[in-house]
Amino acid sequence: MRFYGEALDSRLMLGTAQYPSPDILSQAVRASGAGIVTVSLRREGAGTKAGQSFWSLIQGLGVRVLPNTAGCHSVRDAVTTAQMAREVFDTDWVKLEVIGESDTLMPDVFGLVEAARILHEDGFKVFPYTTEDLVVAERLLRAGCEVLMPWGAPIGSGRGLNNPWGLRAMRAHFPDVPLVVDAGIGLPSHAAAAMEMGYDAILLNSAVSQAGDPVAMAHAFKLAIEAGLAGRLADPMEPRDMASPSTPVLGRAFV
């Protein structure tokens, strides 16, 4: 799998918020085998002592950091946060969030496209948190994005894939664009289903951090993503409307 020309071994991207402790966060990241972790600059407070300790913890994990603009509700706020994150984390990768509705945390797709264009022109490699809307996806690609990250369901809801038809349509419409299901994943089976659809990776946070055993759940997601990918590559059978016996009638003994 490649994002912006860089190869990654893992197809799991893991958030770092709301874990019971820093130690459990570290264990969960390692158990997941994640190749990327997302970090919110605003939440961590990079200039504080706590923020510096957190950054040291993340550096010790040896994984790629993807800063995000979580909590930003305007283009200006998102762009400013991304620019600050580039300085703090020394990366031009950014997960771009521009929130448009507070109850569902649905992205403001108009602001998202505008912010993506500004950041692309400023040299960023943008990972946009978006919906499964194909028109918005086209606009994001034209704005310079090379990756699309449609939601499965509202952030933190754990509802899984609310619109399988829309997600399949996006995969079919953009066969050569890296696609990541971002947000709403609650169970390993949700992640496996997305991989079976042909998605390239999964980004999740709450499903692991809020589990009773985050470390065990992180490992379960690792296995689910591997299983979903393997199942897709094995060329699964097409579903049928009628039964088809696995044991042929021809040759059966009759008494």
The reply to whether 95 belongs to the active site is: yes
User: Do residues 116 and 91 lie in contact, with contact meaning Cβ atoms separated by under 8 Å?
Assistant: no
Is 189 flagged in the annotation as binding? Answer: no
Which H, E and C letters describe 172-225, residue by residue?
Answer: HHCCCCCEEEECCCCCHHHHHHHHHHCCCEEEECHHHHCCCCHHHHHHHHHHHH
Compute CA 255 distance to the chain's CA centroid, rounded to the nearest angstrom: 59
Is 206 flagged in the annotation as binding? Answer: yes
CA distances from 80 to 77, 84, 94, 96, 124 (A): 5, 6, 12, 11, 12
Is 184 flagged in the annotation as binding? Answer: yes
Candidate list 49, 95, 125, 222, residue with the active-site label: 95
Q: Which residues are annotated as a binding site?
A: 156, 183-184, 205-206
Q: Which residues are annotated as a binding site for 1-deoxy-D-xylulose 5-phosphate?
A: 156, 183-184, 205-206
Catalytic residues: 95
